[in-house]
């Protein structure tokens, strides 16, 4: 089970156009809603919110502790409004999840270690995807899925979605045949005599030999 960051909020009584004053004081207006729940207006410290998002990621599930409530709410960030689309934060919407109902979310893939095919054979690591879609109960959502690159020992070995190791109760929804990471062999220059008959390409040293031969003929 993944560790979750905790956000602290207070009930919000300032509504409508008056929320501009909250933003001017570094307070982020927000609402909490969910299946069968009435929307609840809250407010958060904007700097604390930014730190949590930067540390845990916007796709994570958070424990939202609302002042005056005995238990924290388990929420995911459903919408974040900014001024002009890219400017200052205006408002956040949190969706309160039902801990007994599976949900679908995207999980990051983290690559650990170093591939021997890259380190020893001068190959190039190719990362095809960096997230996968999973379905599980909210408390079973993993923080990330790790892939050990040490298993990529040569150019014939690759990791697909079906090879990913996930905790029990977590279902990956992507096609298992989708490649996740592999290693391409290095591009080598061909030497003289290595090209097949009728094949065009760069032959190392050929230009120098022809130039030398022409120079000898000129001297004679």
| pLDDT at residue 198 in the model | 47
Spatial contact of 46 and 86, defined as CB atoms under 8 Å apart: no
> In this predicted model, what pLDDT tens digit does every residue of 88-117 receive, in sequence order?
788 999 999 999 999 898 999 999 999 999
Q: Where are the domains of the chain?
A: 6-96, 103-184
The CATH code of the domain at 103-184 is 2.170.120.20
Left, alpha or beta for 48 (phi > 0: left; psi -120 to 50: alpha)?
alpha
Please name which of 103, 187, 173, 163 lies closest in space to residue 132, comparing C-alpha atoms. Answer: 173
Closest CA to 44 of 70, 7, 2: 7
Q: Could you read off the pLDDT of 117-127 as tens digits, one per residue?
A: 999 999 999 99
CA distance 108 to 113: 16
Q: Quote the CA–CA distance of 56 and 3 in Å, as a whole number.
A: 9
Query: Residue 80 carries which DSSP code?
Result: E
Question: Reading across the β-sheet that carries 145-148, which strands appear in turn?
Answer: 145-148, 103-112, 131-136, 171-172
* Model confidence, pTM: 0.68
Q: Which one has a higher pLDDT value, 9 or 207?
A: 9
* Segment (H or E) for 39: strand 37-45
Q: SS3 for 152?
A: coil
CATH topology of domain 6-96: Ribosomal Protein L25; Chain P (2.40.240)
pLDDT band at 195 (very low <50, low <70, confident <90, very high): low
């Amino acid at each position: 089970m993944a560790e979750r960051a905790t956000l602290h909020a207070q009930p919000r009584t300032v509504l409508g156009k008056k929320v501009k004053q909250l933003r001017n004081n570094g307070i982020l207006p927000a609402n909490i809603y969910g299946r069968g729940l009435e929307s609840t207006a809250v407010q958060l410290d904007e700097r604390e919110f930014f730190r949590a998002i930067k540390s845990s990621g916007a796709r994570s599930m958070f424990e939202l502790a609302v002042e005056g409530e005995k238990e924290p709410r388990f929420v995911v960030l459903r919408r974040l409004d900014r001024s002009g689309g890219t400017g200052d934060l205006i408002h956040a919407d949190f969706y309160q999840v039902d801990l007994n109902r599976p949900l679908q979310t995207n999980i990051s893939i983290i690559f650990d270690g170093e591939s021997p095919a890259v380190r020893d054979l001068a190959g190039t690591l190719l990362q095809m995807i960096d997230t996968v879609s999973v379905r599980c109960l909210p408390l079973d959502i993993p923080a990330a899925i790790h892939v050990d690159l040490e298993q990529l020992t040569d150019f014939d070995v690759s990791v697909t979605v079906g090879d990913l190791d996930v905790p029990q109760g977590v279902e990956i929804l992507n096609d298992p045949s989708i490649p996740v990471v592999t290693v391409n062999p290095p591009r080598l220059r061909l030497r003289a005599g290595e090209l097949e008959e009728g094949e065009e390409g760069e032959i190392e040293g050929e230009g120098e030999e022809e130039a030398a031969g022409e120079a000898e003929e000129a001297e004679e």
